[in-house]
Chain A
């Protein structure tokens, strides 16, 4: 992410932190220490280099720029396809199956109703963020990502319940 931000031009640490937090408003804000530690590591590896001192009424601040090697590393990273995550490892998946498998029907229902309600509430909250007239493109794109996953969870939950109910009907008939 820092390499990506530096690709837009050289910046110093504080600017990088601010740009990161603005681009990813729903992610955890970057700690200053983390920014400088990462810059140090990137400089050691030759991916960024100090590009000058910037004094803006305060203490001297070092501006960093992407090196040729840094640009190559960024291109390489972007070219690399992320393995599609096998979401079956999710706790939600396990919990729903275990609820259907071992809990008594009342307890399973209680859990499923509460889980669905929590998902729906979060989805509605994120939709409100997205439809707020002051929402930026970054807000909308981040909310879309989370909404798409919640929507998938909910659709899977319904399909699973219907499949299981269907199966029970066939066995009983």
Chain B
């Protein structure tokens, strides 16, 4: 069943177009990687899908209901209940302990402090960081912080998790372990995931990949036009450089 849907979503920052009509479906429990080079619009798309940004045109639908037309207050409530968001840097509140950080979304939703802590503890435990419950973010490693941030994003048992380069600030092993947890929990809870990344290795964790290029979906997955070999590249030695041809002298200055 389709949970989240984008139809012809357009978004510009001033005169600069970021999204030029994106159409995308996310099914229940599906992990979709949104990939593409920097500046292709993948983060903007995530913000539009999560209701953080409002598209200039097009529609975003959540379980059949248009949410792009909702007020900021209504979208904000949706993000606190049905959606979870995880960024490259955990954005934990530095003054609060791990357990307090994780319980925060529950407290905002009206859960009592004690009950909130109990639920937060089970999530910290699922992510293997229960022993850090009373530790503040400043005393944790990047990987530990990001696991706490994931616990906080999942504590309300959202139906969709939006993750924007969630391993971008982590070393390879910490990133792998974080994603392992993310995939396992998503499967267990049937949570859909929109995973923004520029790394093929990270996209490998998804069920499906949607590549963007200049604000549009790139069906080829290549990210660029394949240049015609009949063009100047061949005769003037552009590719010749790569195969040891003698034409290297004519490579323009800008070429590394």
Contacts and interface: CB of A to CB of B under 8 A. Distances in A.
B222 A120 contact: no
Q: Chain A interface secondary structure, helix, strand, loop or mixed?
A: helix
A164 B204 contact: no
A124 B184 contact: no
Given A154-B200, A164-B238, A112 B222 contact: yes
A158 B223 contact: yes
A163 B242 CA distance: 11
Contacts of B204: 120, 123-124, 126-127, 147, 151
Contacts of B184: 131, 133
B37 interface: yes
B228 A167 contact: no
Interface stretch (B42-50, B81-89, B90-98, B229-237): B229-237
A108 B179 CA distance: 34
A101 interface: yes
Contacts of B228: 104-105
Q: Chain B interface secondary structure, helix, strand, loop or mixed?
A: loop
Contacts of B236: 171
Interface string A142-173: 00100110110011001001111111101110
A95 interface: no
Most A C-beta atoms less than 10 A away, residue of B229, B232, B243, B255:
B229
Contacts of B200: 119-120, 123, 150-151, 154-155
A120 B227 contact: no
A172 B239 CA distance: 15
A154 to B, nearest CB: 4
B221 A171 contact: no
Nearest to A153: B200
A30 B201 CA distance: 30
Most A C-beta atoms less than 10 A away, residue of B204, B243, B254:
B204
A69 interface: no
B252 A131 contact: no
A170 to B, nearest CB: 5
Contacts of A166: 254-255
Interface of B: 37, 176, 179-180, 183-184, 199-201, 203-207, 209, 220-234, 236, 238-239, 242-243, 251-252, 254-256
7 contacts: A104-B228, A108-B229, A116-B221, A119-B200, A120-B221, A164-B224, A168-B238
Interface of A: 97, 100-105, 108-109, 112-113, 116-117, 119-120, 123-124, 126-127, 130-131, 133, 144, 147-148, 150-151, 154-155, 158, 161-168, 170-172
